[in-house]
Chains A and B, each alone.
Chain A
Amino acid sequence: MPQKHLLTRRLLGTTAVATAMTGVAARAQIPQPKDVQTAIAPAPSFPGNLDMNLDVNGRQHRLSLDPRTTLLDALRDHLGLTGTKKGCDHGQCGACTVLINGVRMNSCLSLAASREGDKIVTIEGLADGEKLHPMQTSFVHADAFQCGFCTPGQICSAVGMANELKRGVPSAVTIDVAAAPTASVDEVRERMSGNICRCSAYPNIVAAILAATEGVTK
Chain B
Amino acid sequence: MKAFTFERATDVDAAVASSAKPGARFIAGGTNLLDLMKVEVEKPAHLIDISRLPLRDIAETPEGDLTVGALVSNTDLAAHPKVRERYPMLARAVVNGASAQLRNQATTGGNLLQRTRCPYFYDVAKSCNKRTPGAGCSALQGINRMTAVLGGSDACIAAHPSDMAVALMALEATIETKGGSKGGRKIAIADFYRLPGDTPHRETNLEPGELIVSVALPPPPAGQQTYRKVRDRASYAFALVSVAAILDLDADKRVRGARLALGGVGTMPWRALDAEKGMVGAEAGDKAFAAAGAVAMAGARGRGGNDFKIPLAKRVVARTFAGLATSISKG
Listed in ascending order, the chain A residues whose CB lies under 8 Å from chain B are 48, 50, 66-68, 70, 89-91, 94, 97, 103-106, 109-111, 113-114, 116-117, 157, 160-161, 164, 167-172, 174, 177-178, 189-195
**Can you pick out 6 interface pairs between chain A and chain B where the beta carbons lie within 8 Å of each other?**
A94-B99, A106-B101, A106-B105, A161-B100, A174-B95, A178-B81
| Other-chain contact of B78, A68, A109, A169, A195 (Cβ < 8 Å) | A169
Do B101 and A170 have beta carbons less than 8 Å apart? no
**6 A-B pairs with least C-beta separation:** A194-B99, A193-B235, A67-B6, A193-B236, A169-B79, A178-B84
B101 and A97 contacting across the interface, CB-CB below 8 Å: yes
A-B contact count (CB 8 A): 119
How far apart sit A116 and B47, CA to CA, in the bound complex (Å)? Answer: 15
The docked-state distance in angstroms from the alpha carbon of A168 to that of B95 is 13
B38 at the interface (CB under 8 A from A): yes
B101 touches A111 (CB 8 A): no
Which of these, A50, A117, A171, A193, contacts B6 with CB under 8 Å?
A: A50
The contact of A114 among B27, B96, B99, by CB within 8 Å, is B27
A52 CB, nearest partner CB in chain B, Å: 10
A170 and B5 alpha carbons, distance in the complex (Å): 38
On chain B, the residues within 8 Å of A117 by CB distance are: 52
Check A164–B75 contact: CB distance below 8 A.
Answer: yes
Residue of B nearest to A97 (CB): B101
Q: Does B49 contact A (CB under 8 A)?
A: yes
- Is A90 a contact of B38 with CB atoms below 8 Å? yes
Among B5, B34, B38, point to the contact of A110 (Cβ < 8 A): B34
Q: In the complex, what's the smallest C-beta–C-beta distance from B23 to chain A, in angstroms?
A: 13
Give chain A residues whose Cβ lies under 8 Å from the Cβ of B75. 103, 164, 169
B79: which of A68, A90, A104, A168 is its contact (CB, 8 Å)?
Answer: A168
Q: Given that A160-B104, A193-B236 are contacting pairs, would A110 and B30 also be in contact in the complex, using a CB cutoff of 8 Å?
A: yes
> Does A172 contact B96, Cβ atoms closer than 8 Å?
yes
Q: Are A67 and B105 in contact, with the CB atoms below 8 A?
A: no
The yes or no answer to B1 lying at the interface (CB within 8 A) is: yes
B84 to chain A, nearest CB (A): 4
A157 adjacent to B100 (CB under 8 Å): yes
Quick one: closest A residue to B163, CB to CB? A172
- Of the candidates B5, B51, B84, B235, the one whose C-beta lies within 8 Å of that of A67 is B5
Nearest CB on A from B36, distance (A): 10
With A157-B100, A161-B100, A170-B95 known as contacts, the answer to whether A178 contacts B88 (CB < 8 A) is yes
The reply to whether the CB of B92 lies closer than 8 angstroms to some CB of chain A is yes
Task: Judge whether A194 and B4 touch: CB under 8 Å.
Answer: no
- A99 shortest CB reach to chain B, Å: 10
- Digitize B86-107: 1 where CB-to-A-CB distance is under 8 Å, 0 elsewhere: 0010011001101111101100
Whole-angstrom CA separation of A110 from B229 in the bound complex: 28
**Which A residues are in CB contact (< 8 Å) with B95?**
169-172, 174, 177
Smallest Cβ-Cβ distance to A153: which chain B residue: B101
